[in-house]
Chain A
């Protein structure tokens, strides 16, 4: 490409240079404020199902209906360290249902039978109420309908169950369908590191 550069070529070079500079500057600005990887994350303090004080409202199941993944990527998660391990768990049993012969509510709350209940250690059959029970959510069955979350909320329970996004199932849509539908704007993209390590979304 030696020799004379035509006027046209020179103009082209100048225009390209200007375009590259413009792109570079705006990209630099964005990189400057960038914060690594971001993932969709539910803010438990905003979600109707887990927000304290929201009592007697209808359970919000938009996470089931809106998620583009066939079985929603939102699942209920039991924070075991907060779980009361009660004999009659309001999230496991529908406490309003009739009492059966065993003295426990006859109906389970989960429509998909996704919560497993098993006694911890040696169960004393004569004193069932005094045992501890472990409640494990089978995430293969759970679809994040939020019924157990609402039932476990204080004061009925200890608010140990909350809804969380399963990051391995979430396809990380640019425009999360749940977040657009969520009436409380509880779903947001947060930097992954904080979201995963922290208990709830950073303020």
Chain B
């Protein structure tokens, strides 16, 4: 019956309001008119409570498809580089990866960021890590153990977009290159440090300062968009600045890829020692006519530059000879 009372009070207020024409500026004396929510049967008249908007998250099978595509893309990357030895095919894969992992999936979740999820999951027993993130983290490392950094080449969205903008690479002096290369380990250590902090202070710095994810989303903070654009402009002249000097996952991959038995191989047994491949490599990854596994980013530019690289060579190189 309290509702009836409240209604009466409200009516009184209304009447008063109408009488006092000039008494505008007077606010309503508000009091909650009901104690509990009326249900369908209280309202009557065949009233049906509308459904609450509850949009479902992305389908689980789509997330699994992402992982499958990641694995497939790495497989294709290995096939192109080890077997097919073609820059052209690799560019096609790179464009596809930027399109799917970059602009469609908006760069999340990526193995680089998953370093932090894995770190937290290993240290904090209350943290939920989905299977998808675990797989995203471990698959590229597993591939790196056997084939080197196949993930970096045409699969990683961040790497691929830098790969595509590279216009006129300059060779970074070796000393500088090595010194800057240490930055990524510092970054890795910082990322792990911030991830193992207790939940309240925890921060995922890699994701927070990911320069390209805002570009993929085409929204975000202005400073992050500017940082991404800056990296891309720099990347037109310095090959993949983020991958070589900052990417913490690149640090992990380069450790694991030291074990790799196969990968980019400079035309086996047919070198001219001309050094055209080393000149073509924008990442300084060819030393003494051999691709250095831990630096090689699987771009296949050396194949494109090689005068001895042609259909004949490919046909006559038995796989066993490939170093």
Direct contact between the two chains A and B in their complex (CB within 8 A) = yes
A contacts, CB < 8 Å to B: 1, 12, 15-16, 19-20, 23, 26-27, 29-31, 33-39, 68-70, 75, 77-88, 90, 95-99, 101, 103, 105, 120-122, 127, 129-130, 132, 134, 136-137, 139, 155-158, 160, 166-175, 177, 180, 185, 189-192, 196
Residues facing A in B1-47 (CB within 8 A) are: 6-7, 10-11, 13-14, 17-18, 24-28, 30, 32-34, 36-39, 43, 45, 47
Q: How far is the CB of B67 from chain A (nearest CB, A)?
A: 12
- Which residues on the B side are within 8 Å of A23 (C-beta)? 138, 141-142, 145
Most buried by A among B39, B142, B203: B142
- The complex places the Cα of A70 from the Cα of B221 at a distance, in Å, of 10
Residue of B nearest to A190 (CB): B128
Chain B contacts for A82, CB-based, 8 A: 37
**Chain A residues within an 8 Å CB radius of B162:** none
CB distance from B131 to the nearest CB of A (A): 5
Bound-complex Cα distance A170 to B129 (A) = 18
State whether A98 and B24 are in contact (beta carbons under 8 Å apart), knowing that A87-B10, A88-B30 are contacts in the complex: yes
Partner of A129, one of B10, B63, B208: B10
Flag whether B298 is at the interface (Cβ < 8 A).
Answer: no
Q: Any chain A CB within 8 A of the CB of B311?
A: no
The answer to the question of B171 belonging to the interface, with a C-beta cut-off of 8 Å to chain A, is: no
Residues of A within 8 A of B10 (CB): 87-88, 103, 129
Pairwise interchain contact B219-A120, C-beta atoms closer than 8 A: no
A172 to B146 Cα, complex, angstroms: 32
Q: Is the interface of A mostly helix, strand, loop or mixed?
A: loop
Contacts of B254 in A (CB 8 A): none
Q: Among residues 105 to 141 in chain B, which have CB atoms less than 8 Å away from a CB atom of chain A?
A: 106, 108-110, 113-114, 116-118, 121-122, 125, 128-135, 137-138, 141
* Stretch from B52-60, B93-101, B182-190, B277-285 at the A interface: B52-60
Alpha-carbon distance between A12 and B117 when the two chains are bound, in angstroms: 30
Inter-subunit contact B320/A1 (CB<8 Å): yes
Tell me whether B49 is interfacial, beta carbon within 8 Å.
yes
Instruction: Give the residue name and chain of the A residue nearest to B33 (CB).
Output: A86
Contacts of A86 in B (CB 8 A): 32-34
Q: A12-B259, A95-B28 are in contact. Are A185 and B52 (CB under 8 A)?
A: no
Which of A20, A78, A97 touches B27 (beta carbons < 8 Å)? A97
B146 neighbours in A (Cβ, 8 Å): 16
